Homo-oligomer: A and B are copies of this chain.
């Protein structure tokens, strides 16, 4: 597996996801803002493609793989096989893949997502506490991200944000 293959594959299957969480503030009352950005790089694949997720994990030397069960759907009569998800969530690990990704050659609009995603990471890590300015920038970037984040737009959290 080489980097060009990986970039090609993640342009199709990878997902740069920024969750704007409200619940963080509840647990951290000193946090000054409404939303807290949580970053996740993810690849969801069907269970029989687990080997490629393991190869990717080895190649990147970070990340975790979880099984996502569709047992509930199956019980309801919806044909669906389980998935495996490759996740990178810790800032330390995201910084590692940032170097790999940012020097890769992207060809789809996923490039924009990738750039915004790592900008948000940088803003989040720049100071121990977010400033109003960096917070506003994060919100703007996160809500300008592409299609792959549509899931979020429908979530309660970003609904509140855009209402």
Give the B-binding residues of A (Cβ under 8 A): 1-2, 4-13, 45-46, 48-49, 52, 55, 105, 107-109, 147
Contacts and interface: CB of A to CB of B under 8 A. Distances in A.
A46 B9 contact: no
Contacts of A2: 4
Contacts of A9: 8-9, 11-12, 107-108
Q: Which of A5, A48, A109 has the most CB of B within 10 A?
A: A5
The dominant DSSP class at the A interface is helix
Contacts of A108: 9, 45, 49, 52
Contacts of A147: 46, 48
Q: Which of A2, A9, A45, A52 has the most CB of B within 10 A?
A: A9
Nearest to A9: B8
Q: How many copies does the complex hold?
A: 2
Given A11-B12, A12-B11, A13-B12, A5 B107 contact: yes
A114 to B, nearest CB: 14
Nearest to A14: B12
A55 B107 CA distance: 8
Contact of A6 (B6, B8, B10, B55): B8
A1 B109 contact: no
A111 to B, nearest CB: 10
18 contacts: A2-B4, A4-B4, A4-B8, A5-B5, A5-B107, A6-B8, A7-B8, A9-B11, A9-B12, A10-B12, A11-B52, A45-B108, A46-B147, A48-B109, A49-B108, A49-B109, A52-B108, A55-B107
